[in-house]
Amino acid sequence: MSGEHSVSRVWDSITATQPAPTPRAIVACAVVALLVVAWRPLWIRARHLVTITHEGAHGVAALLSGRRLSGIRLHSDTSGLTLSRGRRTGPGMILTALAGYPGPALVGLGAAGLLRAGHAVALLWLALLLLALLLAQIRNWFGLWSVLVAGAAVFAVSWWASPAAQSTFAYTVTWFLLLAAPRPVLELARSRRAGRARDSDADVLGRLTRTPGALWVAVFLVVTVAALAAGVVLIAGRPF
């Protein structure tokens, strides 16, 4: 296959619209995603996708607020770290700290919007592009491996899977991000009650704004739950 033909094929798939799966299939995708989130043996593995999105959101916020991104690390215990340079206080630092926990929910909401418009394949290629940009900022081997595995999975589905399989995959990942986003916030709340996570995003925001860290945990929870509700509305409103 020539390079020109390959590019044409990709562009045609990106700009085309795909029919949504049946309502039953969409519900099945949601059930699968919910099972992954709720069942701990699956969650501890799938949570790496949430961490990738969480740290990517920190990175995007840092760049948008004028900070200089120094690198991103992803760890095997599903934690992560995004380093940026700039003022240690002020709106840029606040925006950067704020972006992480809502990040997966907002990405899921954006994905739901693309699915509603019938652009499941465009969603997959956009995800691949974002993973490629994130890869350039990774600064440790586990993070490199995590992003490469995620990118390889998305590319394989985008390139070789049937249109029906591509849509099913896109819906399942979207459901996963929407359903998964509140869980790390609840885990954070439990860790803080137990006296741990004193350097969490919520505590950083508390110190930056001179407000209780618990307030920011509540903000994270409201945003992630609201995004889930809005995502359900968007997907349910997709014409079948």
Q: What is the pLDDT along the chain (240 residues), one digit of tens a residue?
A: 556 666 777 787 788 888 889 999 999 999 999 999 999 999 999 999 999 999 999 999 999 999 999 999 999 999 999 999 999 999 999 999 999 999 999 999 999 999 999 999 999 999 999 999 999 999 999 999 999 999 999 999 999 999 999 999 999 999 999 999 999 999 999 999 998 878 899 999 999 999 999 999 999 999 999 999 999 999 987 544
Query: What phi and psi values does residue 69 have, to the nearest 5 degrees?
Result: -80, 125
Tokens representing 68?
């200089």
121-148: b (≥16 Cβ within 10 Å) or e: bbbbbbbbebbeebbebbebeebeebbe
Residue 128 is predicted with a pLDDT of 97
Query: What phi and psi values does residue 162 have, to the nearest 5 degrees?
Result: -70, 160
**pLDDT tens digits, one per residue of 72-106:** 999 999 999 999 999 999 999 999 999 999 999 99
Residue 131 is predicted with a pLDDT of 98
> Measured in whole angstroms, how far is the alpha carbon of residue 195 from the centre of its chain?
27
* C-alpha pair distances (Å), 63 with each of 59, 85, 106, 117: 6, 10, 17, 29
Q: What is the four-CA torsion angle of 116, 48, 150, 115, rounded to 10 degrees?
A: 0
Residue 238 is predicted with a pLDDT of 55
Residue 240 is predicted with a pLDDT of 42
Residue 12 is predicted with a pLDDT of 75
End-to-end distance of the chain based on CA atoms, in angstroms? 35
pTM of the model: 0.95
Q: Decide if 235 contacts 112 (C-beta within 8 A).
A: yes
Q: What residues contact residue 217 under an 8 Å CB cut-off, 6+ apart?
A: 185, 188, 189, 192, 202
Residue 4 is predicted with a pLDDT of 67
SS3 assignment for the chain: CCHHHHHHHHHHHHHCCCCCCCHHHHHHHHHHHHHHHHCHHHHHHHHHHHHHHHHHHHHHHHHHCCCEEEEEEECCCCCEEEEEECCCCCHHHHHHHHHCCCHHHHHHHHHHHHHHCCCHHHHHHHHHHHHHHHHCCECCHHHHHHHHHHHHHHHHHHHHCCHHHHHHHHHHHHHHHHHHCHHHHHHHHHHHHCCCCCCCHHHHHHHHHCCCHHHHHHHHHHHHHHHHHHHHHHHHCCCC
Residue 2 is predicted with a pLDDT of 58
